[in-house]
């Protein structure tokens, strides 16, 4: 079996027994990217030399028995989404406007995961500035789903998910503003976790929607997701929204005996776009959890009808503010023929941003403008407060909320690019989670038409352990295997 498909404990056991060297595993990772990525386009930048140098240092540590000093992820190859600052490395958020930009600092999550011993192999393609649900808006071209390269991998962390499905690395980092980790995880058959807002520092993450963004892990198992979360969580003086709420991982998180799982009737309503075959598969998984001792309850979450407009109003308003900083004066792309300073601003932003990003900036700017702020943004924030109140009340009755991650399996490349509303509706089950700041995880639960389907679980604030508990139970009953190597 491809060692890159093994779990973190399995890989490190091989390292300790000298059955496999970190440098050999890294070479496997780099070879896989070289062989497959011409078709998949999940990677925008390799770190070939530095990655091999770091792996060879790990070789020496494992050979001398000093590997414990390297951390819980010693020698593990890692793929990182192209919107997290890596000191001295070009990072562009897959946008033309940031071409050549090299941050002088590390994002906190990057610093922490490197301190835990993980080795960054490459940077993953993504929807430009994380704005998209299919990984088709990137300046570097669309990423394709390894399960079927005619289909998309989801977005915006499509490259991070596709890289795992293609077998480039055992773990990756993505960011989730409205489902950007969970939806690609569903489409590509991986586990994807959006932590509670504030559990992981956003310092060094290129902002899209500051009240919604959260860095999180993708992996081939729930346990590996939990291990990565443990490595990157924690209070950070550089991020005032971060919190100190250390998660205590347990080896005994498989049983769902007595767990109350709420399933919103609105989420299982086929008239809202849920594919019948996906619904049937989810119902089979819920019945399997019930046999394992969970209590399945039908609940109601009527906010679903307001989720998409509320999310896109708030996210686009925050994007308008956050992306105003890209003036092309201090760094990044600059137009070659401006006639004045103002013309330089206008032409550089016009030429540097892609169409989807410009659309969202304009929508957000309009909603924040004089005379429209109260009618749009303020109303959206009031609805957001109501969403939080509704879900808090539901969490008094149930331990988690479960349902589909996405309404269907991965769709064809180019199928929805000319239909923005259809594209936005791909996020119908995920965006409310970011609006209420809760943690949520997508776990593979089967196939429809040969493509993966994910089940989403939403938890109480800072209760990721219950998500891990339920996710491990799904892994037990489904006996999921990641995509086979060709």
Residues recognised as catalytic: 81, 156, 180
Distance of CA 131 to the CA centre of its chain: 12
C-alpha triplet 394, 397, 403: angle, nearest 5°: 60
CA–CA distance, 249 with 231 (Å, rounded to integer):
11
Give me the sign of the Cα torsion angle 123, 128, 132, 135. Answer: negative
CA–CA distance, 56 with 41 (Å, rounded to integer):
27
C-alpha triplet 223, 227, 233: angle, nearest 5°: 135
CA–CA distance, 106 with 85 (Å, rounded to integer):
5
- The strand order across the sheet containing 295-299 reads 43-46, 119-124, 77-81, 171-175, 215-219, 191-194, 440-448, 451-459, 400-404, 260-264, 295-299
CA–CA distance, 332 with 348 (Å, rounded to integer):
10
Token code pair at residue 439 = 């943690």
CB 435 within 8 A of CB 173: no
CB 155 within 8 A of CB 122: no
DSSP string, 75-113: T-EEEEETTB--TTS---TT-GGGTT---SS--HHHHHH
Helix pair 304-322, 355-368: axis angle to 10 deg: 100
| Residue labelled with tokens 């060094």 | 204
Token code pair at residue 112 = 């922490």
Distance of CA 180 to the CA centre of its chain: 5
Q: Tell me whether strands 295-299 and 451-459 are parallel, antiparallel or unpaired.
A: unpaired
Locate the DSSP E strands across 12-98: 43-46, 77-81
């Amino acid at each position: 079996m491809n060692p890159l498909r093994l779990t973190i404990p399995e890989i490190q056991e091989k390292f300790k027994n000298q059955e496999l060297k970190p440098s050999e595993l890294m070479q496997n990772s780099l070879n896989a990217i070289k062989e497959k990525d011409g078709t998949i386009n999940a990677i925008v930048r390799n770190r070939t030399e530095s990655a091999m140098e770091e792996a060879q240092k790990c070789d020496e540590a494992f050979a001398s028995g000093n590997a414990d000093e390297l951390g819980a992820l010693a020698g593990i190859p890692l793929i990182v989404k192209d919107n997290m600052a890596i000191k001295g490395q070009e990072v562009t958020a897959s946008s033309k406007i940031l071409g050549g930009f090299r941050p002088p600092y590390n994002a906190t999550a990057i610093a922490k995961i490197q301190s835990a011993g993980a080795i960054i192999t490459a940077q993953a393609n993504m929807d430009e500035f994380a704005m998209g649900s299919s990984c088709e808006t990137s300046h570097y071209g669309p990423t394709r789903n390894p399960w079927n390269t005619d289909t998309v991998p989801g977005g915006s962390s499509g490259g991070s998910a596709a890289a795992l499905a293609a077998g480039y690395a055992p773990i990756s980092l993505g960011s989730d503003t409205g489902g950007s980790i969970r939806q690609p995880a569903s489409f590509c058959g991986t586990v994807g976790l959006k932590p509670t807002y504030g559990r992981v520092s956003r310092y060094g993450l290129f902002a899209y929607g500051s009240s919604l963004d959260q860095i999180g892990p993708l992996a081939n198992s729930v346990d590996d997701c939990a291990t990565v979360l443990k490595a990157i969580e924690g209070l950070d003086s550089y991020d005032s929204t971060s919190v100190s709420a250390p998660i205590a991982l347990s080896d005994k998180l498989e049983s769902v005996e007595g767990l109350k799982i709420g399933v919103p009737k609105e989420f299982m309503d086929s008239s809202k776009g849920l594919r019948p075959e996906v619904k049937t598969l989810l119902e089979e998984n819920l019945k399997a959890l019930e046999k394992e001792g969970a209590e399945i309850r039908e609940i109601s979450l009527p906010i679903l009808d307001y989720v998409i407009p509320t999310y896109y109003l708030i996210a686009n308003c925050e994007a308008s503010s956050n992306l105003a900083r890209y003036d092309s004066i201090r760094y990044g792309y600059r137009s070659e023929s401006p006639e004045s300073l103002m013309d330089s601003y206008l032409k550089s932003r016009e030429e540097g941003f892609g169409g989807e990003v410009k659309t969202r900036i304009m929508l957000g700017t309009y909603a924040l403008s004089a005379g429209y702020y109260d009618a749009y943004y303020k109303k959206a924030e009031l609805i957001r407060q109501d969403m939080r109140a509704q879900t808090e009340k539901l969490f008094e009755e149930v331990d988690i909320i479960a349902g589909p991650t996405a309404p269907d399996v991965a769709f064809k490349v180019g199928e929805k690019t000319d239909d923005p509303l259809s594209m936005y509706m791909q996020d119908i089950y995920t965006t409310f989670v970011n609006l209420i700041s809760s943690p949520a995880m997508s776990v593979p639960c089967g196939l429809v038409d040969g493509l993966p389907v994910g089940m989403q679980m939403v938890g109480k604030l800072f209760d990721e352990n219950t998500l891990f508990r339920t996710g491990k139970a799904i892994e037990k009953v489904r006996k999921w295997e990641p995509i086979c190597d060709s």
